[in-house]
Amino acid sequence: MDNSDDPTIMNAFMGEVCNDRRVRYLPSASHTLSMVDNWERTVAATSGRWVSIIGDDDFVDPEVAGLIARIEARVPDCDAVAWNRLTFHWPGAKPHEMNTAVPTGCRIVEIARDELIRKTFGWQDAGRVPTFMFSVYHAAVRRELLEKNKPLFGNRYFEHPVVDQDSAFKVILTARRFIFSERPFSILGACPGSNSASEGRVEEHDLRHAEFMADLGRAVESETIDPDFPFPQGCGTTAAVGVSQNWFRKTYGIKLDGWEENFVRSCALDCASASTERDFQIMRQRYEACIRAWKGGRFLKAFSPTFEVADAGKTPFRGVTPLLIHIGERLAGALTPAELYEAASGMMTPPDEIAINF
């Protein structure tokens, strides 16, 4: 689908592609849609048994369709399939080449719902954000589940503006079985204008958040803050996840105790991702004010962010560790996610040789 303010570019590009009966193209609407409305119309236009969504700066291997079909044959009550992802920063997204990590494993494993609930809603072992493996974003969900969930959740596929998390919360609670591939099948891209490219840089993050709110037809200062969870969505990446989870828990009566300290530790990690000490101090002050105002400040003791000055002259590690192969995102001169994936594929098990032992 296209959702740009100049539809002529994509319309021209898609001209001949649309002759393929497998392709259904959604041109831009009469006006630019919010992400939640754009994803809503996209899923409504799909027709396959499984649904997976990526962004325009991402890549997914078409061979994953064959793997899903094999999993479906062996595990017929599987409703959600996920896989590891690589990363790729487009030129201009970062000041220097970044690393990505290729897993050395190729197992197909089942993940229990209880584990996903602990890791996602309980923030167990979380980094800056908790686990979001199973959703329609860089993973695949059975269409039957999406249609079944729709009347249960607002009569929409997506309700919350943070659409990937909205999808993950619903899938985790309702899917029958969850199957995960250690082998990557997609690449998360980040272009200079994407949210992920602004992480750790306060001014750019604030600008992206303002654009996000404008897409929803709202001003930043109009954001309603829940007094029971006094974290503005624009406070940081961790806060944005917390806000979406808070909305979901309250809307659908999800009860889970003991997640708060884990969340606060993730807030500290978000601060540690700052690009400069100035960014770090601003992020620390924002988070500390929110944590102090939350439930009488009882979780402030878990908030202990630290900042380490990056060594600009230090080359990031590239090589093999027991579970990962660390490579530069420009491996073999890659200039796009597709080119990086092609280069990295030589380090991964061919899809048709992956064993499914169920």
Band of pLDDT at residue 311, cut at 50, 70 and 90: low
Ranges of H-type helices in 225-313: 237-252, 260-272, 277-293
Q: Give the position of tokens 């027991």.
A: 322
Share of the chain above pLDDT 70, in %: 98
- Of 96, 88, 94, which Cα lies nearest the Cα of 313? 96
Band of pLDDT at residue 312, cut at 50, 70 and 90: low
- Say if residues 34 and 161 touch (Cβ distance below 8 Å): yes
Work out the average pLDDT over 233-237: 90
Tens-digit pLDDT profile for residues 243-297: 999 999 999 999 999 999 999 999 999 999 999 999 999 999 999 999 999 999 9
Sequence-ordered strand ranges (E) for the chain: 50-51, 59-60, 78-89, 99-103, 108-111, 139-142, 177-190, 319-320, 324-328
- Of 209, 186, 189, which Cα lies nearest the Cα of 98? 189
Mean residue pLDDT across the chain: 93
Q: What is the dihedral of CA 243, 248, 249, 252, to 10 degrees?
A: 160
Cβ-based neighbours of 273, under 8 Å, separated by 6 or more: 128, 199, 200, 237
Tens-digit pLDDT profile for residues 118-143: 999 999 999 999 988 999 999 999 99
- Say if residues 94 and 192 touch (Cβ distance below 8 Å): no
Q: Is the pTM of this model over 0.85?
A: yes
Cβ-based neighbours of 286, under 8 Å, separated by 6 or more: 235, 236
Sequence-ordered strand ranges (E) for 90-205: 99-103, 108-111, 139-142, 177-190
- Say if residues 144 and 77 touch (Cβ distance below 8 Å): no
Q: Is the dihedral of CA 137, 138, 143, 144 positive or negative?
A: negative
Work out the average pLDDT over 202-214: 84
Residue 112 CA to residue 134 CA, distance in Å, equals 12
Band of pLDDT at residue 114, cut at 50, 70 and 90: very high
pLDDT value of position 219 = 62
* Domain boundaries, given as residue ranges, for the chain: 1-32, 37-194+332-353, 202-302
* Count of CA atoms in the C-beta half-sphere (13 A) of 131: 22
- Say if residues 116 and 217 touch (Cβ distance below 8 Å): no
pLDDT higher than 80, residue 6: yes
pLDDT value of position 220 = 54
Work out the average pLDDT over 1-21: 91
pLDDT higher than 90, residue 55: yes
* The token pair that represents 22 in the structure block: 């497998």
- Of 88, 63, 103, 87, which Cα lies nearest the Cα of 183? 103
pLDDT value of position 139 = 98
pLDDT higher than 80, residue 58: yes
The H or E element that residue 115 is part of is helix 113-120
Q: Following DSSP, what letter does each residue of 278-297 receive, concatenated?
A: HHHHHHHHHHHHHHHHSGGG
pLDDT higher than 80, residue 347: yes
Residue 127 CA to residue 199 CA, distance in Å, equals 14
* Count of CA atoms in the C-beta half-sphere (13 A) of 145: 25
Share of the chain above pLDDT 90, in %: 81
Tens-digit pLDDT profile for residues 146-182: 999 999 999 999 999 999 999 999 999 999 999 999 9
Question: Can you say how many angstroms the Cα of residue 5 is from the centroid of all Cα atoms in its chain?
Answer: 24
Around Cβ 234, how many Cβ atoms within 10 Å? 18
Residue 108's DSSP bridge partners are 181
